[in-house]
Amino acid sequence: MTDFFSKERITASPSFNRWLVPPAALAIHLSIGMAYGFSVFWLPLSKALGIQDPIACADTMGIWARAFATDCDWKVSDLGWMFTLFFVFLGTSAAVFGHWLEHAGPRKAGAVAAVCWGGGLLLSSYGVYTHQLWLMWLGSGVIGGIGLGLGYISPVSTLIKWFPDRRGMATGMAIMGFGGGAMIGAPLANTMMSHFATPTSVGVWQTFAIMGVFYFIAMMIGALSYRVPPTGWVPKGWVPPVNNGNSMITNRHVHVNHAHKTPQFWLLWAVLCLNVSAGIGVIGMASPMLQEVFGGALIGEQLKLAQLSPDQLLRVTAIGAGFAGLLSLFNIIGRIGWASLSDWLGRKRTYIIFFALGFFLYISAPWAGGTGSVAVFAGLFCVILTMYGGGFSTIPAYLADIFGTQHVGAIHGRLLTAWATAGVLGPVIVNYLRDYQLDHGVPASAAYNVIMYVLATLLLLGFICNLLVKPVAEKHYMTDAELEAERQLAHEKSIKLNGDKIESQQSESHPLLALVAWTLVAIPISYGIFSTLQKAWILFH
C-alpha cells in the first residue's frame, strides 16, 4: 500500500494530458475550502440542546469547563475557536510538512489530507452527537487543520512543473477552488441541516458525517489522479526563457532550508501578509459595514440601522449576506483572473497593480459610502476582493520565478505563515479601530473611514516591499550535485526523448477524459455560483 502512494508510481508517461491535473487539484481545494463556510454551523450549534433557544451555561463556568459540559449549549465565541484553529494548523502543517511533500509526492500528501479533513469532520460529528466541544476542536480544528495545510500545498509544485509556460494560470485554477469551496459547501450544509432537523436535533451531526464521507471520497479521487512530470519535461513547442542574470524568472533552484536566509523570502512574506491583512479585514466586516454605512437606505427607508424594526432588520441582514456572497464570488474570479494575467504582466508588475490600485480604492471607500450609491460602494469592494484572491494565487508562481521549481511547494508552505499572521493582524486592526471610534462617539456610518485609511497604509508598505524584490544572489542556489541529490531523494525519474529535452508527444491526448474531469468539477462550481448570485441579486434589485 505504501508503494501505491509513492512518488515513483505517479510519474506520467510523455503522452499524459497535463489538463487532467488541475481538476484533480480542484477536487481537493473545493473540499477543504469549506473551512471558509463553517460559520453556517455556529447558530444551529449554539442551540444544539435547546433547539429553539440556547440553554445557557452557568456564568461561573470557564471555557475549558464548557468544552466538556454536556448539559448546556455552546457560545458562538467558543465555536469560533474552530475557525482560528483551522488557519493556525493550516499554516503550521504547510510549513512543517512542505519539504516532506516534495519527497513523498502529491498523491501521498493528498491522501493524508483526505484522511485528516474527512476524518476530522467525522470526529466532529461524534463530538456534536455526544455534545463534547473539545472533540470538535480536535476533529475539525486540529486534525482538519492539518488536512487543510497538506491539501492546500499538495498540488502547487506539481502544477508549476506541468505548466512552466503558464505558472500563474495553473496555480490560479487550483487555488480558486479553496476560495470557492464555501460557495458550494455552505448552501449544501444549510439544505442538509434543514432536512435532518427534528424536534430533538438541529441536524448538524448528520451533516458533518455526510460531508466528511463525501469530502474524503472527492479528495481521494483527486489525490489518486495526481501525476508528476518526468524531470526536464517541457510542453511541446515551448522554449524556456534564457536567464541573463537580471531576469525575475530563474532557471536555477534554491533549497527550502536556505530560502529563509534570503531577503527575497522575507520581502515576499511581507508582500503576502500585508495584502492579505487588508483584504481579510474587509471580508470580516463586509456584511455589518454595508448595513451600518447605508442602514435603511438598503430597503428604501431613510432611517439609521438602529431605527429599523425587527422585520426591516431581517431584510437588511439578508442584503448584507448577499453582499458577503458577492465578495466571495469576486474573490474566486480574482484568483484565476489575476494569476493568469500575471503570466503576461509578470508577477512583480501584478503585485504593483494590487498595491497601487488597492491603495486608491481603499482611500476612495469613504467617498463611495458618502455617494449613497450601493452599486458604487459594492463595486469598489468587489474589485478589492479580486486582488485579495489574486494575491493568494499569484504568490506560488512568484516563488517559482524567484526560487526555482524544485522546492517551490515547500517554500510556499513556509511562506503561508504570513497568512496565519494576517489572519490575526487584519481582524484585530478592524475590530479594535471600529470599537474605539464607536466608544468615542463616531457614528456607525462613519466608523469605517479611518479603518480604510489604515488598511491603505498597509498596502503602501506592501508596495515598497514588492519594489525591493530582486533576483536571488548566486550563493543561495543549489549546485548541480546538490540538485541531483535532491532529485534522487524525491525519487524523480528522467526520460530522454529528444536530446536533453523531454517533450509532450500528444499535448491533447485523452481529450474526452479531460472533458469528463473538468465537467465533474464544473458542476459543483456552477451550483455555487448560481446560489451566490441568487443571494446577491437582492443587493441591486
**Which CATH number is correct for 247-477, 3.90.470.20, 3.40.50.1100, 3.40.800.20, 1.20.1250.20?**
1.20.1250.20
Chain-centre distance for alpha carbon 199: 36
**494: confidence class by pLDDT, cuts 50, 70, 90:** low
Give residue 508's pLDDT: 55
DSSP E strands in 145-270: the ranges are 233-234
Say how many C-beta atoms besides its own lie within 10 A of residue 43's C-beta.
Answer: 12
Residue type, 214: F
pLDDT in tens, 440-449: 888 877 778 8
Give residue 275's pLDDT: 94
**394: confidence class by pLDDT, cuts 50, 70, 90:** very high
The C-alpha cell at 197 is: 432537523
Strand partners, 254: 477
Q: φ and ψ at 501, to 5 degrees?
A: -110, 150
Which numeric CATH code is attached to 1-54+63-234+481-512?
1.20.1250.20
Highest mean pLDDT among 227-241, 352-366, 480-494: 352-366
Q: Residue 493 in 3-state DSSP? A: coil
Is the distance from CB of 322 to CB of 536 less than 8 angstroms? yes
Q: What is the mean pLDDT of residues 129-149?
A: 94
- Could you tell me the pTM of the whole model? 0.88
Strand partners, 471: none
DSSP 287-329: HHHHHHHHGGGGGT----GGGS-HHHHHHHHHHHHHHHHHHHH
**Residue 499 in this model has a pLDDT that exceeds 50:** no
Q: Which residue has the cell 494590487?
A: 354
Chain-centre distance for alpha carbon 81: 18
The domain limits of the chain are 1-54+63-234+481-512, 247-477
**Residue 353 in this model has a pLDDT that exceeds 90:** yes
Q: What is the mean pLDDT of residues 90-111?
A: 92
Give residue 228's pLDDT: 92
